[in-house]
């Protein structure tokens, strides 16, 4: 297995920044398992670590990444602007706070965590993000959980276009029109819950309709064909659609497995069949109605 994870050049990055094709998600990473998990991820060649103040572990992740011995410019460390910090001054202060907590002097990527349309401040937040970028605090400017109509508002006012949008996407929730819209605008898509997310929904969901993505017979059959697991098939599907998946795992075997997806390709017909598994099975919040300010 090739240890180096391939990268994708970000279309909207004027500086030509590249992003790893798979990242390591630290949301829901168990605190007691965090040091060994980050060490295992580093050993397996992961260089992108996706964080947010809301995940409650910026300090610990920062400590482990700094202790890893990997040169800073080989790491791709990202975090997000909290929902309660969309006002200009609050956004600048929030970024400074994250830098301090992570123990860094710049972030590889900073994203507005949710658009929070009820606040009506995400364009103001974007202006603050642009200032942070101009001041050299951020290399990649991004949004997260933004729908097309939110993105259009940013595109109407921005001087720097969003370079990434991080969205809940997997074969049961493909968000295909939104993914294609982003990609047509040069906005690289990162997909969270790439393995289908937790075994039980985070938001109210009719339990009788709840299916576990990794138990899907089609993914299992493709796994059989390629000598891979259903998780690797789900991650490969994201790669085939030019996304960067950010699976969470605290299990060394699965951390290894999840990045071992660059030695095979799915056929077009298989990708289309996986697309057709979509039933809009969203497990995270709907960003149009989400009002949680997520104060720590």
251 is a contact residue toward ligand A2P (CB under 6 A):
yes
Which residue in the set 20, 53, 171, 194 belongs to the binding site for ligand A2P (CB under 6 A)?
A: 194
258 is a contact residue toward ligand A2P (CB under 6 A):
yes
The residue (of 204 and 253) whose beta carbon lies closer to ligand A2P is 253
Task: State the nearest-atom distance from the C-beta of 223 to ligand A2P, in Å.
Answer: 11
Dihedral-angle region of residue 86 (phi above 0 means left; psi in -120 to 50 means alpha; beta otherwise): alpha
Torsion angle of the four alpha carbons 55, 29, 37, 194, in this order, in degrees rounded to the nearest 10: -100
Buried (b) or exposed (e) across 114-124, using 16+ Cβ within 10 A? Answer: bbbbebebbeb
Separation between Cα atoms, residue 153 and residue 29, nearest integer Å: 34
Q: Which helix H or strand E contains 254, and what residues bound it?
A: helix 252-259
- The answer to whether residues 52 and 84 touch, using CB atoms and an 8 Å cutoff, is no
Residues taking part in catalysis: 55
- The answer to whether residues 228 and 256 touch, using CB atoms and an 8 Å cutoff, is no
195 is a contact residue toward ligand A2P (CB under 6 A):
yes
Torsion angle of the four alpha carbons 60, 66, 71, 72, in this order, in degrees rounded to the nearest 10: 60
46 is a contact residue toward ligand A2P (CB under 6 A):
no
Task: State the nearest-atom distance from the C-beta of 46 to ligand A2P, in Å.
Answer: 13
Site residues for ligand A2P, window 200-239 (CB under 6 A)?
Answer: 214, 229, 231
160 is a contact residue toward ligand A2P (CB under 6 A):
no
137 is a contact residue toward ligand A2P (CB under 6 A):
no
The residue (of 52 and 121) whose beta carbon lies closer to ligand A2P is 52
Which residue in the set 104, 257, 259, 274 belongs to the binding site for ligand A2P (CB under 6 A)?
A: 257
The contact set with ligand A2P (CB under 6 A) reads: 25, 193-197, 214, 229, 231, 247-251, 254, 257-258
């Amino acid at each position: 297995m090739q240890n180096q994870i391939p990268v994708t050049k970000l279309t909207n990055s004027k500086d030509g920044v590249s992003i790893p094709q798979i990242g390591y998600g630290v949301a829901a990473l168990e605190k007691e398992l965090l040091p060994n998990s980050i060490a295992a991820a580093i050993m397996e060649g992961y260089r992108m670590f996706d964080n947010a103040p809301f995940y409650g572990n910026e300090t610990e992740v920062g400590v482990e990444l700094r202790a890893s011995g990997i040169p800073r410019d080989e790491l791709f460390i990202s975090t997000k602007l909290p929902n309660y910090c969309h006002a200009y001054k609050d956004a600048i202060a929030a970024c400074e706070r994250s830098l301090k907590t992570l123990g860094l002097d710049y972030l590889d990527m900073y994203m507005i965590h949710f658009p929070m349309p009820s606040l009506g401040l995400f364009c103001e937040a974007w202006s603050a993000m642009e200032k942070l970028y101009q001041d050299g605090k951020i290399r990649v400017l991004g949004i997260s959980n933004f729908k097309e109509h939110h993105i259009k508002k940013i595109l109407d006012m921005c001087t720097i276009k969003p370079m990434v949008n991080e969205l809940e996407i997997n074969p049961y929730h493909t968000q295909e029109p939104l993914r294609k819209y982003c990609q047509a605008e040069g906005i690289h898509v990162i997909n969270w819950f790439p393995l289908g997310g937790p075994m039980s929904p985070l938001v109210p969901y009719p339990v009788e309709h709840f299916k576990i993505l990794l138990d899907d017979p089609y993914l299992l059959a493709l796994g059989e064909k390629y000598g891979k697991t259903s998780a690797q098939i789900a991650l490969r599907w994201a790669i085939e659609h030019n996304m960067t998946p950010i699976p969470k795992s605290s299990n060394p075997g699965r951390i290894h497995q999840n990045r071992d997806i660059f030695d095979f390709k799915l056929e077009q017909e298989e990708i289309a069949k996986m697309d057709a598994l979509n039933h809009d099975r969203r497990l995270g919040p709907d960003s149009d109605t989400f009002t949680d300010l997520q104060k720590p």
